[in-house]
Amino acid sequence: MTTSFEPVIGLEIHVQLHSKTKMFCTCLNGMDESCGPNSEICPRCSGQPGTLPVMNEGAVRLGVRAGLALGCQINEVSSFERKHYFYPDLPKSYQITQNAHPVNGRGEIEITFGPKDKLQKKKIGIHHAHLEEDAAKSSHSGDYSLVDFNRAGCPLLEIVSMPDLRSADEAYAYLTEIKRLMQWVDASECDMEKGELRVDVNVSLRPVGQEKFGTRTEIKNLNSFKAVKDAINYEIARQTQVLNEGGQVVQQTLLWDKEHGFTKPMRSKEDALDYRYFPEPDLPPLILRKDRLEKIKAQMPELPAAKEAKFVALGLSAYDAGVLTLTRKTAEYFEQVLSCGAGAKAAANWITTDLMGLLNADKKDIGQSPVAAADLAELIKLVESGKISRNQAKTVFEQMYKTGAKAAALVEKMGLSQVSDEGQLFAWAQEAINESPKAVADFKKGNRAAVGALVGAVMKKSRGKANPRRMNEILVELLGK
């Protein structure tokens, strides 16, 4: 007999904070190999004896912004410790990190997952989020290794979740939300290709109904969303098999072999003692005065969850509200279109389908949109006032996107403007009635759909310039006489 197990998952996410300089020196942050290896280093971040760390206020501010976005309790006093291990990418042989007293305490975020028409929401606890410095980057090839210290000392925020996730899909949604929040508050660009977001995944199983957690394994250093999902699913299947065969899961650290799709042991788990944590003697406690914190809070943008709720209140679906808040720029673009007088549903539709379709095809983000928000609003208003049809507007929009021209000018140039002169509309309607006795007879027999044939006839005559909605009304009026 096989038992059913419930997965329990917790994530530790490292995001590289987007500050100008490194965590404890004035070397530039965010340089990679393309700038030449070891081009942005100094005695401090390369671990020379006798140098002292100096805290980067900008990085602390970004860390606190991130903490506020994660709903964390911000600690007025936090402190740094040394975490020791010996490795060529760690010049001091210890990493300066926050351990017992992190700057960001307990928090909570809400994730959204599931199929488009049946979205589910769930709250996920944040255990804490702490500041630390990054290690250098080593690359191994053949019988030698190279170390690039450009990354050594760059500021990181490690976000540790509570073990609240129950599936790979939930973990994926959690990751998506973390990335959205970090980008939203400008804490990190989270460019995964540049390694600005790295994930350690903890997975355990417990029999369904049991409260006590099972033994976990930790998969280190995943650097894509897909790898996180695949590694979790693999590990769930592997542990299920071990348990069903009467075995026990061994607590260990694993690596994900993404080429072959399996996990392999990296080393048996060090416990905290192995790191010989002790207080960093060269840094005073980090004290965040209340007025400083208030200032940081005052500079926070409205968060995506609040914006989403606002958009739903305007009548949008939860799904569309989610798409429009994927990035802060998208949400702001949408709001600008609204502030220029366009309707919410129409604006959402144009942005999420037409505009994003073209932008995605061009690999552009909305900040690079050739159609300004105010110009899209003008186009929407032309449709809403009946000047042009939705179909005509599509053609106009494509031209706007291609040429950057304004809607009204294009409508004029393309000769699309719908005729709203009532005299002309009534004349066309009467002509169509005279020319289609069959449709008229059908209508009089009670077939109200017959009016559609007459509208079609008028559209032909007017070469698409009659407003079909108004034409319908006119025809019904004339036929009713």
Pick the piece of the chain touching ligand ADP (CB under 6 A) from 87-95, 113-121, 132-140, 156-164: 156-164
Lookup: tokens for 233: 């699913």
User: Contact, 292 vs 58, CB < 8 A?
Assistant: no
Among 104, 150, 202, 369, indicate the residue that binds ligand ADP (CB under 6 A). Answer: 202
Closest CA to 258 of 220, 218, 289: 220
Among 204, 263, 325, 392, indicate the residue that binds ligand ADP (CB under 6 A). Answer: 204
Q: Closer to ligand ADP by CB, 203 or 458: give it.
A: 203
- Cα 356–Cα 350–Cα 368 angle in degrees, nearest 5: 40
Among 29, 161, 263, 462, indicate the residue that binds ligand ADP (CB under 6 A). Answer: 161
- Give the span between the Cα atoms of 336 and 338, in whole angstroms: 5
**Maximum CA extent, the chain:** 100
Shortest reach from residue 307's CB to ligand ADP, in Å:
28
Phi (first) and psi of residue 140, to 5 degrees: -110, 135
Element (H, E) at 125: strand 120-133
Footprint on residues 255-284 left by Zn ion (CB under 5 A)? none
- Give the span between the Cα atoms of 188 and 183, in whole angstroms: 6
Among 44, 61, 65, 216, indicate the residue that binds ligand ADP (CB under 6 A). Answer: 216
Among 85, 87, 213, 278, indicate the residue that binds ligand ADP (CB under 6 A). Answer: 213
Among 47, 58, 105, 163, indicate the residue that binds ligand ADP (CB under 6 A). Answer: 163
Shortest reach from residue 50's CB to ligand ADP, in Å:
32
Q: Closer to Zn ion by CB, 149 or 428: give it.
A: 149
Footprint on residues 1-60 left by Zn ion (CB under 5 A)? 25, 27, 42, 44-45
Of these partners, Zn ion, ligand ADP, none, which one is at the site of residue 232 (CB under 5 to 8 Å by kind)?
none
Phi (first) and psi of residue 48, to 5 degrees: -75, 145
Q: Closer to ligand ADP by CB, 64 or 203: give it.
A: 203
Pick the piece of the chain touching ligand ADP (CB under 6 A) from 199-207, 330-338, 357-365, 467-475: 199-207
Radius of gyration of the chain (CA): 30
Establish if 12 lies at the interface with ligand ADP (CB under 6 A). yes
Shortest reach from residue 351's CB to ligand ADP, in Å:
36
- Give the span between the Cα atoms of 200 and 142, in whole angstroms: 27
Establish if 11 lies at the interface with ligand ADP (CB under 6 A). yes
Element (H, E) at 16: strand 5-16
DSSP 49: T
Q: Closer to ligand ADP by CB, 19 or 263: give it.
A: 263
Which residue has tokens 């255990």? 127
Lookup: tokens for 401: 């996107």
Which runs of E-coded beta strand occur in 247-380?
252-257, 262-268, 278-279, 286-287
Interstrand relation of 81-84 and 5-16 (parallel, antiparallel or unpaired): unpaired
Site string for Zn ion, 134-173 (x = CB under 5 A): ----------------------------------------
Lookup: tokens for 329: 């720029």
Q: Closer to ligand ADP by CB, 8 or 478: give it.
A: 8
Q: Which residues bind ligand ADP (CB under 6 A)?
A: 8-12, 160-163, 202-204, 213, 216
